[in-house]
């Protein structure tokens, strides 16, 4: 089975967020199911500079009603799989991976069309085209146009984060001759946006957890597309993301002060003490060390965490927040850390090395997201024995089992997106933390849970087969 992945980012070449991990790691797991994934990425100027010696394989035409643009095609092997790099003027004109909406739309539409043209011109025809997020969604509309004509090729679209629809991309779609979606279930404002347009052409829409697949069919999470998504319920599936257990392994993680495993949990303390020392805090093993490692975005509920901790003044805790993002959220975090220097720290960075040390040393990992399609931090937290305290939404609900008794549960969940609900949950968690035996049980159950890519890959591979069979049946064999 040959599958073309189209994505704006993928590890190890380009990484901004969780999408990169999925697009980079899922193909490896799919290979074990006999699925040959070739991945196309935009050839961003930054990547070009890093791969300066790479020679172009071909150039292809990207047709527009007002003329033709040229895309360059480079290819390289990563982990034994081919990655296509599609370059050209619209990508050079908007060099950051993500920038201004109009320019980004032009760049990503160009990229998607260029990738399809490259496959055709180099003689590699995928049996399934699998696009990720709004960036790649327009290519699904384009492959069905008369001029390209891949009508028998199944199209899958994975939505990693529904609110990002490519707003501002209306003119760019028209510029490439892409007509508005004609699905009557789509509201007018959505018909000429990249993500809904792609969804209207997809045979299957997937998202990254079963709960989120259900939530986006409701007004609270559907961003105005709930009626459309509900009308596609039979063609909408939630497939949980995974993590690579070799990449995330506290038993072999070179970043840690001390490595440990499920049967040597006591070594974690060394990692906790190392963190307390960095911030000049009392090196108490019994004081709960809480952490958040996240993009500082309203979605992630950093404000809820800070307000909840304010409400827990009477309780002993220490708190580390690592991540960057929205300047307003950063300012709030900075003010919080300044007011609680003796027990709170904010490090406004994406620091992979430090993040690993935090997963390994924190007692609890807070993920109070307002919505969460899947979430990767809680999966890493579970694997590292940093017990997750999460909002019961999306993938968080699907991956963290609520603490119920000495023998059951891997973390703590709360329902309402408000600081008091989180504070109550934290109070409960901190009480259980005082009981070392119960706490170690929680940690061990979380560390033993299997969130590798194997299960996801099996589901995607089944879906590819099903989508292919459906298309074949529809077009008469
Ligand atoms: O894990 C990758 C990621 C998700 O919940 C995450 C999100 C964006 O918000 O699928 O995409």
Q: Is the C-alpha dihedral spanning 83, 88, 94, 100 positive or negative?
A: negative
Burial string for 186-214 (b: 16+ CB within 10 Å, else e) reads beeebbbbbbbbbbbbbbbbbbbbbbbbb
Q: What tens digit of pLDDT does each residue of 66-97 get?
A: 999 999 999 999 988 999 999 999 999 999 99
Are 309 and 319 contacting, i.e. CB atoms less than 8 angstroms apart? yes
What residues are in contact with ligand 1 under a 6 Å CB criterion?
17-19, 22, 160-161, 208, 241, 372-376, 395
Please identify, by atom number, the ligand 1 atom nearest to the C-alpha of residue 372. Answer: 5
Ligand 1 center–CA 352 separation, angstroms:
17
Q: What is the mean pLDDT of residues 224-228?
A: 98
Q: Are 45 and 74 in contact (CB under 8 A)?
A: no
Joined together, the tokens standing for residue 148 give 């390209």
Confidence at residue 477, expressed as pLDDT on a 0 to 100 scale? 58
CA distance 242 to 368: 20
**74 has which bridge partners?**
85
- In angstroms, the Cα distances linking 10 to 5, 13, 52, 96, 214 are 10, 6, 19, 15, 26
Distance 52 CA to ligand 1 centre (A): 31
The span from the CA of 472 to the CA of 374, in Å, is 32
Give the model confidence (pLDDT) of 317-348 as tens digits. Answer: 999 999 999 999 999 999 999 999 999 999 99
Q: Which residues contact 438 (CB under 8 A, 6 or more apart)?
A: 406, 432
Question: Does residue 228 have a pLDDT over 80?
Answer: yes
- Token code pair at residue 330: 């950063």
Q: What is the pLDDT of residue 83?
A: 98
Which atom of ligand 1 is closest in space to residue 376's alpha carbon?
1
Question: How many angstroms does the Cα of residue 375 sit away from the middle of ligand 1?
Answer: 5
CA gap 191, 156 in Å, rounded:
18
Percent of the chain residues topping a pLDDT of 90: 97
The tens digit of pLDDT for each residue in 159-177 reads 999 999 999 999 999 999 9
Describe the chain by its helix, strand, coil percentages, rounded to 5: 40, 20, 40
> Which of 160, 238, 369 most suits a substitution to test ligand 1, by most atoms within 8 Å of the C-beta?
160
Q: H or E segment at 78?
A: strand 67-78
Residue 324 near residue 295, CB atoms below 8 Å: yes
Phi-psi region of 223 (alpha: psi -120 to 50; beta: other; left: phi over 0): left
The pTM of this model reads 0.96
At 421 the pLDDT is 98
Domain annotation for the chain: domains and CATH numbers: 2-242+454-474 (3.40.50.2000), 265-448 (3.40.50.2000)
Q: What is the average per-residue pLDDT within 464-471?
A: 96
Nearest CA to ligand 1 atom 3: 18
Angle between helices 194-201 and 133-143 (to 10 degrees): 50
Tell me the per-residue pLDDT of 300-314, one tens digit each, with 9 for 90 and over: 999 999 999 999 999
- Ligand 1 center–CA 252 separation, angstroms: 26
CA–CA separation, 65 and 346 (whole Å): 51
- Choosing from 10, 11, 16, 17 the residue with most ligand 1 atoms within 8 A of its CB, the one to mutate for a pocket test is 17
Question: How far apart are the C-alpha atoms of 244 and 246, rounded to whole Å?
Answer: 5
pLDDT given for residue 325 in this prediction:
94
How far CA 73 is from CA of 114, 122, 133, 385, in Å, comes to 8, 10, 22, 44
Burial degree of 289 (CB within 10 A; 0-12, 13-18, 19+):
buried
Length of the chain: 477
Confidence of residue 474 (pLDDT cuts 50, 70, 90): confident
Which of 376, 379, 394 to mutate for ligand 1's pocket (most ligand atoms within 8 Å of CB)? 376
CA 95 to chain centre: 22
First-residue to last-residue Cα distance in the chain:
17
Q: Which two tokens stand for residue 266?
A: 């006591």
Task: Indicate if the pLDDT at residue 150 is higher than 70.
Answer: yes
pLDDT recorded at residue 224: 98
How wide is the angle at C-alpha 292 spanned by C-alphas 437 and 305, nearest 5°?
Answer: 95
CA distances from residue 441 to 106, 428, 446 in whole angstroms, order as listed: 52, 16, 9
What atom of ligand 1 comes closest to residue 395's alpha carbon?
Answer: 5
Q: How far apart are CA 397 and CA 391, in angstroms?
A: 7
pLDDT (0 to 100) of residue 318: 98
pLDDT digit string, tens, across residues 354-390: 999 999 999 999 999 999 999 999 999 999 999 999 9
Q: Specify the 3-state DSSP secondary structure of 70.
A: strand
What average pLDDT does the segment 422-435 reach? 98
Site to probe by mutation for ligand 1, drawn from 162, 239, 375, 400 as the one with most ligand atoms within 8 Å of Cβ, is: 375
């Amino acid at each position: 089975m040959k599958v073309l992945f189209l994505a704006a980012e993928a590890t190890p070449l380009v990484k901004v967020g969780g999408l990169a991990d999925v697009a980079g790691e899922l193909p490896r797991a799919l290979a074990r199911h006999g699925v040959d994934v070739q991945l196309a990425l935009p050839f961003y100027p930054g990547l070009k500079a890093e791969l300066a010696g790479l020679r172009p394989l071909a150039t292809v035409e990207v047709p527009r009603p007002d003329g033709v643009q040229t895309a360059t095609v480079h290819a390289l092997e990563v982990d034994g799989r081919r990655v296509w790099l599609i370059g050209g003027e619209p990508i050079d004109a908007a060099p950051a991976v993500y920038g201004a909406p109009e320019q980004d739309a032009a760049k990503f539409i160009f990229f998607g069309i260029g990738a399809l043209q490259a496959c055709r011109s180099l003689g590699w025809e995928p049996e399934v085209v699998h696009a990720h997020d709004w960036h790649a969604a327009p290519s699904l509309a384009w492959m069905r146009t008369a001029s390209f004509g891949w009508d028998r090729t199944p199209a899958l679209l994975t939505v990693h984060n529904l609110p990002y629809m490519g707003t501002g991309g209306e003119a760019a779609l028209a510029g490439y001759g892409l007509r508005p979606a004609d699905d009557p279930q789509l509201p007018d404002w959505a018909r000429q946006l990249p993500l809904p347009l792609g969804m209207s052409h997809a045979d299957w829409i997937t998202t990254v957890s079963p709960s989120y697949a259900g939530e986006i069919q409701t007004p609270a999470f559907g961003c105005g597309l709930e009626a459309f998504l509900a009308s596609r319920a039979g063609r909408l599936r939630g497939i949980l993301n995974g993590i690579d257990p070799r990449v995330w392994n506290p038993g072999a993680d070179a970043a840690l002060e001390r490595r440990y495993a499920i049967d040597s949990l006591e070594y974690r303390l060394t990692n906790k003490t190392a963190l307390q020392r960095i911030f000049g805090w009392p090196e108490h093993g019994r004081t709960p060390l809480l952490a958040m490692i996240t993009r500082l975005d309203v979605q992630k509920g950093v404000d809820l965490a800070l307000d909840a901790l304010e409400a827990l003044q009477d309780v002993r805790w220490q708190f580390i927040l690592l991540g960057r993002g929205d300047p307003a959220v950063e300012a709030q975090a900075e003010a919080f850390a300044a007011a609680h220097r003796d027990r709170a720290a904010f490090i406004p960075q994406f620091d992979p090395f430090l993040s690993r040390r935090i997963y390994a040393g924190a007692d609890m990992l807070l993920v109070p997201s307002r919505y969460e399609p899947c979430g990767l931090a809680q999966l890493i937290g579970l694997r590292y024995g940093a017990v997750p305290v999460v909002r019961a939404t999306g993938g968080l609900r699907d991956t963290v089992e609520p603490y119920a008794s000495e023998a059951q549960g891997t973390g703590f969940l709360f329902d309402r997106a408000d600081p008091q609900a989180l504070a109550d949950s934290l109070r409960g968690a901190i009480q259980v933390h005082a009981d070392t035996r119960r706490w170690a049980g929680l940690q061990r159950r979380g560390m033993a849970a299997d969130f590798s890519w194997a299960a996801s890959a099996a589901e995607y591979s089944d879906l590819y087969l099903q989508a292919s069979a459906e298309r074949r049946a529809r077009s008469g064999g």
